[in-house]
C-alpha cells in the first residue's frame, strides 16, 4: 500500500468482497446520544429543541444546530463501513479541518475501551458527501459510535454496509450506564479546533469515563443566557460543568449566580463544576489580554468562594495548567488542537471522576 | 475580552499604539533556514533548486515548491506583528486546517526555548491574505522564527510591524549552531496533518534540539528517487533520516540500498537513521493493510541487518510505538495531528540527540 494524501488512495485494496454492493441505512433510526432532549427537535441531530427557536438569541439557535457531541450508536458485522451525509451550512474555517467542522468520526468498542476506527471526510463544494471509514474488517459483529459534525449540522446521515451484512441498534448492555454530564460553554467546549469530531474534550471524557456527555458549547456565545440554564435544569445530570468563562467579560459574570440558582432550584445537590478561563497561550505576550483574563479569574474566584460557603456541591477548577505550559496545544493562541483536548481531558478527569462517583 | 471564533474578535483591543500605522517589509531579505540549498531557487521559499525542474518527476517538483520546514529568522521590537502573503496554489484539503496548509506560524526565543506566539490564518477565496500574529507585546527587542506553509508555496511574504519599530535579521549569536539534520520522507514528514506550520515533527525537533532541520518530505512520493539522494548528498549533514517507507511497496524498497549508497559515497561516516513504517491506526482493523505493513517492515529490517554488518553509522528505529497506542493521534487513520507529531518528536528525540551528538 502506498501512503498517499487521499483517503481513497490510502484505503483502496483488492478485497474478497470487492464485488459486493453497499446498502445505505438512515442513521437516525438507531440510538442517538449526546442530546439534552430527544423531544421536539427540528432536525434529528440538533442540540436545542424547536420551542426555543424564537425565544433565544439567534446566535444560540444557529449554533444549537451544530451537532457537537451528538453520536449514533449501532452494531454491524460489515467488513466495510462508509457514510453518505449532507450538511446544512457547508461551513469553512481557517483554523479547523473540514473533517472536524462537518465530517463524521467512527469508534468501536473493544472490551471496555472505545477505539478510533476512521473518519469520514467531506468533499469540497457541494454539501453532500460520501466517504469510507474502514475496509477489510474481520467480519465480526461489533459495537460502534458515530460522531456527528462539530461545527455544522448533518441534516441526513446514512451508514453504508455490505448488502449482506447485518446492521442494527446497539446491544442494550453496552450503553453508557449512569446519568450524563452536561457541559455548558464556549467554542472550545463546542470542539474548536479538534481535528475530527470525536476529539472534542467532552467526547474524549465520555469515552474515558464510559458515560454520556451532553455538549452545550456555543461558539462565542457562552454568555450565561438563562434560557440555557432552564434547559439544562430539565436534565437529571450527574454533574453540570460551566466552562463558559472565556465568553464573558468580568461584569458579565454577574449573571453567574443567577444561572447557578436556576440549576439549584431543581437540583439542590447535583455537583456543579466551574472551570476557570482556559489559558490563551497568547496572553504570555499580549499584556492587555493577560490583564483581562486575570481580572476575570479573580471575579470567578470571588463568586465561587461566596457561593461555596452555603453550597458544598459546588466545585472550581483553575484552567491555568489545563493544556500544559509549552504553549504548543492551540492552533491560534486560543483554540485547542487534539493535543490540547487530550491534555485538557487528562487534567479534568481525576477531579470529575471523583465528583461523579460521589453521586452514585 | 470575549473569546470568539475569529482571530480579529479574539485579539482586537484598544492599544496605546492604535493610531500607529503598520509598515510591511519583505521577509525574504532576512535569514531563510530549512532549505537544502539557497542557490538557484525559482521562488525564495522553494525546497528544490530550479535545475531539477525538468529532470525529476513532476510530482516531486510540484511538492518541492511546498515550503514545509522553511522559516525566516528576524528580530523586531514591534508591539504588533502581522503578515501579508500570497500563495501559489491556494490548496484545500479535507483533513488539514487551512492555516497548516497555507498559513504562517510565529515563534520567539525565550532564553534557549522557542515559544509559539501566534499563527497567521488565510482567508477563503483569493490567494492573498492578511492576518495578525500578536498584539500588545511589551516592546522589547525579540528574536523570531516565522514558518512558511506546509502544503503550499508562499510566493511572497511580508512582515508587518509598527512604522516606528525596528526590524532586522537575527542576532548572529542565536542562530542554530551545528550541522543540519536532513529528513527525507512522505506526507507525514512533510507535515500532514499538523494544525499549523510549526507543528510538523521536523520543526518540533528543530526547536527542541536547537538545530536546523531540512524537510524533504514529499507527500505520497517518498519513493527513493535517486535525484533526491544526490541532492541530499550535497549537504554536510549531522544526520540523514529516511522516513519514506510508507510511500514504498515492499518491492520498491529494493531501491533503498542504492539510495543509501549515493549518500555513503560522499558521506561515509555520517549517521543515517532509517525510520520504520509509521503505524497506521487503521491497521488495527484493516486486516489487508496490516499484512502489507508487516511485510514492508520485515523487508526494511532485512536490508538494515544486511547493511549494518559493514556500516556502523546506520541506525534503525521501529515506528510501532511512535505515536502511542491509544489510536487517537491521527486525523484519518494515517496522518498525524499535533498530538501525533508531539508524541513522534518525543519518541525520536532521545535516539536522534545521541546520534547527532556523536558527530560533534
What is the per-residue pLDDT across B214-243, written as a single tens digit (0 to 9) for each?
Answer: 999 999 999 999 999 999 999 999 999 999
Q: Which residues 6+ apart lie within 8 Å of B169 measured at CB?
A: B29, B30, B31, B73, B74, B75
Q: ω before B193 within 30° of 0 (cis)? A: yes
Q: How many CA atoms lie within 13 A of A118 on its CB side?
A: 24
User: Which of B2, B122, B134 has its CB closest to that of A285?
Assistant: B134
User: Which of A97, A281, A335 has its CB closest to that of B331?
Assistant: A97
What DSSP designation does B190 have? H
- Please give the average per-residue pLDDT across B111-138, as a whole number: 94
Residue B153 has which C-alpha cell? 508555496
User: Which of B94, B137, B199 has its CB closest to that of A285?
Assistant: B137
Tally helices (H) and strands (E) across chain A. 9, 15
Nearest-CA distance A97 → chain B (Å)? 4
Residue B177 has a pLDDT of 85
Using a CB-CB cut-off of 8 Å, the residues of chain A touching B335 are 5
Residue A293 forms contact with B (CB below 8 Å): yes
Residue A7 forms contact with B (CB below 8 Å): yes
Handedness of CA A351, A354, A359, A360 (dihedral sign): positive
* pLDDT over 80 at A16, yes or no: no
Residue B101 has a pLDDT of 98
Residue A138 forms contact with B (CB below 8 Å): yes
Q: A195-207 burial string, b = 16+ CB within 10 Å, else e?
A: bbbbbbbbbbbbb
Residue B15 forms contact with A (CB below 8 Å): yes
CATH 2.60.120.260 given to domain B20-174:
yes
At residue B131, the 3 state secondary structure works out as strand
d(CA B297, CA B305): 12
Residue A310 forms contact with B (CB below 8 Å): no
User: Which of B15, B195, B249 has its CB closest to that of A337?
Assistant: B195
List the one residue out of A76, A85, A83, A197 whose CA is nearest residue A137: A76
With bands split at pLDDT 50, 70 and 90, how would you rate the model's confidence at A19? Answer: low
d(CA A169, CA A134): 19
What DSSP designation does B197 have? G
* pLDDT over 80 at B4, yes or no: no
With bands split at pLDDT 50, 70 and 90, how would you rate the model's confidence at A2? Answer: very low
Weakest-pLDDT range from A6-15, A180-189, A225-234, B221-230: A6-15
With bands split at pLDDT 50, 70 and 90, how would you rate the model's confidence at A26? Answer: very high
Pairwise pLDDT comparison (B213 vs A126), residue with the higher score: B213
Residue A270 forms contact with B (CB below 8 Å): no
List the one residue out of A353, A320, A326 whose CA is nearest residue A339: A326
Binary contact (A137, B3; C-beta < 8 A) = no
Using a CB-CB cut-off of 8 Å, the residues of chain B touching A287 are 136-138
| pLDDT tens string A122-158 | 998 888 999 999 999 999 999 999 999 999 999 999 9
d(CA B355, CA B360): 10
Residue B11 has a pLDDT of 39
User: Which of A115, A247, A285 has its CB closest to that of B327?
Assistant: A115
User: Which of A94, A116, A192 has its CB closest to that of B121?
Assistant: A94
- Please give the average per-residue pLDDT across A61-88, as a whole number: 98
Q: Which fold has domain A181-358?
A: Rossmann fold (3.40.50)
Q: B253-269 burial string, b = 16+ CB within 10 Å, else e?
A: beebeebbebbbeebee
A18, with CB counted inside 10 A (0-12, 13-18, 19+), is: exposed
User: Which of B3, B13, B187 has its CB closest to that of A220?
Assistant: B3
Residue in chain B closest to A103 (alpha carbons) equals B94
Secondary-structure breakdown of chain B: helix, strand, coil percentages, each rounded to the nearest 5: 30, 25, 45
Residue A163 forms contact with B (CB below 8 Å): no
d(CA A174, CA A178): 12
| pLDDT tens string B145-168 | 999 999 999 999 999 999 999 999
Which bin fits A350, alpha (ψ -120 to 50), beta or left (φ > 0)? alpha
What is the residue-averaged pLDDT of chain B? 92
Angle value at C-alpha A254, between A68 and A246, nearest 5 degrees? 35
List the one residue out of A304, A237, A221, A225 whose CA is nearest residue A269: A237
Q: Which residues 6+ apart lie within 8 Å of A224 measured at CB?
A: A244, A248, A252, A253, A255, A256, A258, A259
Residue B83 forms contact with A (CB below 8 Å): no
With bands split at pLDDT 50, 70 and 90, how would you rate the model's confidence at B281? Answer: confident
Binary contact (A331, B195; C-beta < 8 A) = yes
Using a CB-CB cut-off of 8 Å, the residues of chain B touching A335 are 5
Binary contact (A118, B333; C-beta < 8 A) = yes
With bands split at pLDDT 50, 70 and 90, how would you rate the model's confidence at B19? Answer: low
Binary contact (A108, B247; C-beta < 8 A) = no
Binary contact (A11, B286; C-beta < 8 A) = yes
What is the residue-averaged pLDDT of chain A? 93
Angle value at C-alpha A217, between A63 and A36, nearest 5 degrees? 85
Interface of B with A in 36-65 (CB under 8 A): none
Using a CB-CB cut-off of 8 Å, the residues of chain B touching A195 are 95, 193, 195, 331, 337
Strand order through the sheet with B154-162: B22-26, B154-162, B81-87, B128-134
d(CA B359, CA B178): 10
* pLDDT over 70 at A14, yes or no: no
What DSSP designation does B288 have? H
* pLDDT over 60 at B320, yes or no: yes
Binary contact (B337, A339; C-beta < 8 A) = yes
Binary contact (B4, A187; C-beta < 8 A) = yes
Residue A68 forms contact with B (CB below 8 Å): no
| Residue pairs spanning A and B at CB distance below 8 A | 235
Residue A14 has which C-alpha cell? 483488492
Q: Which fold has domain A19-171?
A: Jelly Rolls (2.60.120)
Residue A337 has which C-alpha cell? 488542537
Q: With contact defined as beta carbons under 8 Å apart, do A352 and A181 qualify?
A: yes
User: Beta strand pairing status for A154-162 and B142-147?
Assistant: unpaired
Binary contact (A286, B124; C-beta < 8 A) = no
Residue A196 forms contact with B (CB below 8 Å): yes
- Please give the average per-residue pLDDT across B92-105, as a whole number: 97
| ipTM entry | 0.93
Distance of CA B304 to the CA centre of its chain: 26
What DSSP designation does B359 have? T
Domain ranges of chain A: 19-171, 181-358
Q: Which residues 6+ apart lie within 8 Å of B232 measured at CB?
A: B36, B182, B184, B216, B240, B263
Residue B219 has which C-alpha cell? 507527500
User: Which of B3, B103, B281 has its CB closest to that of A334?
Assistant: B3
Q: Which residues 6+ apart lie within 8 Å of A152 measured at CB?
A: A66, A67, A87, A88, A89, A90, A91, A101, A102
Residue B15 has which C-alpha cell? 492599544
Alpha helices in B94-158 (DSSP H): 98-102
Kindly write down the DSSP assignment for every residue of A9-30, as one continuous string.
HHH----TTTT--EEEEEGGGS
* pLDDT over 70 at B5, yes or no: no
Residue B193 forms contact with A (CB below 8 Å): yes
Q: A222-254 burial string, b = 16+ CB within 10 Å, else e?
A: bbbbeebbebbbebebbbbbbbbbbbbebebbe
Distance of CA B66 to the CA centre of its chain: 10
CA dihedral angle for residue A32, residue A35, residue A38, residue A39, rounded to 10 degrees: -170
Which bin fits B248, alpha (ψ -120 to 50), beta or left (φ > 0)? beta
Residue A333 forms contact with B (CB below 8 Å): yes
Residue in chain B closest to A287 (alpha carbons) equals B136
At residue B33, the 3 state secondary structure works out as strand
Strand ranges in A141-180 using DSSP code E only, listed in sequence order: 142-147, 154-162, 167-168
Binary contact (B15, A134; C-beta < 8 A) = no
Q: How many CA atoms lie within 13 A of A102 on its CB side?
A: 26
Residue A45 has which C-alpha cell? 441531530
Phi, psi of A315, rounded to the nearest 5 degrees: -125, 155
Helical axes B256-266 vs B226-233, angle rounded to 10°: 20
Residue A355 has which C-alpha cell? 465528583
List the one residue out of A216, A214, A144, A212 whose CA is nearest residue A178: A212
Residue B281 forms contact with A (CB below 8 Å): yes
| pLDDT tens string A268-278 | 999 999 999 87
d(CA B296, CA B168): 49
| pLDDT tens string A265-324 | 999 999 999 999 877 888 889 988 889 889 999 999 999 999 999 999 999 999 888 999
| Residue of A4, A5, A288 to mutate for B, most B C-beta atoms under 10 A | A5
* pLDDT over 90 at A255, yes or no: yes
Residue in chain B closest to A221 (alpha carbons) equals B4
Rounded alpha-carbon distances, angstroms, from residue B142 to A346, B110, B165, B167, B317: 34, 8, 12, 10, 37
Residue A349 forms contact with B (CB below 8 Å): no
Secondary-structure breakdown of chain A: helix, strand, coil percentages, each rounded to the nearest 5: 30, 25, 45
| Residue of A200, A224, A283, A286 to mutate for B, most B C-beta atoms under 10 A | A286
- Please give the average per-residue pLDDT across A348-357, as a whole number: 96
Amino acid at each position: 500500500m502506498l501512503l498517499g494524501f487521499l483517503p481513497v488512495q490510502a484505503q483502496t485494496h483488492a478485497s474478497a468482497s470487492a464485488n459486493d454492493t453497499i446498502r445505505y441505512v438512515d442513521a437516525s433510526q438507531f440510538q442517538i446520544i449526546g442530546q439534552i432532549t430527544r423531544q421536539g427537535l427540528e432536525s434529528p441531530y440538533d442540540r436545542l429543541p424547536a420551542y426555543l427557536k424564537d425565544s433565544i438569541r439567534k446566535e444560540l439557535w444557529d449554533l444549537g444546530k451544530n451537532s457537537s457531541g451528538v453520536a449514533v450508536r449501532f452494531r454491524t458485522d460489515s467488513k466495510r463501513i462508509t457514510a453518505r451525509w449532507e450538511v446544512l451550512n457547508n461551513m469553512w474555517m481557517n483554523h479547523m479541518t473540514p473533517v472536524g467542522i462537518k465530517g463524521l468520526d467512527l469508534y468501536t468498542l473493544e472490551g471496555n475501551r472505545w477505539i478510533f476506527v476512521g473518519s469520514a471526510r467531506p468533499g469540497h463544494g457541494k454539501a453532500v458527501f460520501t466517504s469510507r471509514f474502514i475496509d477489510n474488517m474481520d467480519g465480526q459483529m461489533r459495537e460502534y459510535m458515530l460522531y456527528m459534525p462539530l461545527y455544522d449540522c448533518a441534516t441526513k446521515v446514512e451508514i453504508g454496509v455490505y448488502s449482506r451484512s447485518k446492521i442494527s441498534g446497539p446491544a442494550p448492555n453496552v450503553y453508557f450506564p449512569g446519568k450524563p454530564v452536561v457541559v455548558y460553554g464556549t467554542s472550545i467546549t463546542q470542539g474548536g479546533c479538534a481535528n475530527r469530531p470525536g476529539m472534542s474534550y467532552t467526547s474524549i471524557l465520555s469515552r474515558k469515563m464510559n458515560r454520556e456527555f451532553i455538549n452545550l458549547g456555543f461558539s462565542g456565545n457562552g454568555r450565561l443566557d438563562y434560557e440555557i440554564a432552564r434547559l439544562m435544569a430539565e436534565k437529571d445530570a450527574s454533574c453540570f460543568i460551566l466552562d463558559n468563562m472565556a465568553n464573558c467579560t468580568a461584569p458579565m459574570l454577574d449573571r453567574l449566580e443567577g444561572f447557578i440558582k436556576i440549576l439549584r432550584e431543581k437540583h439542590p445537590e447535583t455537583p456543579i463544576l466551574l472551570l476557570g478561563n482556559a489559558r490563551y497561550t497568547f496572553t504570555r505576550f499580549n499584556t492587555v489580554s493577560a490583564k483581562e483574563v486575570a481580572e476575570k479569574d479573580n471575579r470567578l474566584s470571588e463568586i465561587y468562594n461566596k457561593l461555596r460557603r452555603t453550597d458544598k456541591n459546588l466545585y472550581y477548577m483553575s484552567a491555568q495548567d489545563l493544556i500544559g505550559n509549552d504553549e504548543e496545544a492551540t492552533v491560534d493562541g486560543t483554540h485547542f488542537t487534539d493535543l490540547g483536548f487530550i491534555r485538557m481531558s487528562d487534567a479534568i478527569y481525576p477531579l470529575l471522576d471523583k465528583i461523579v462517583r460521589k453521586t452514585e
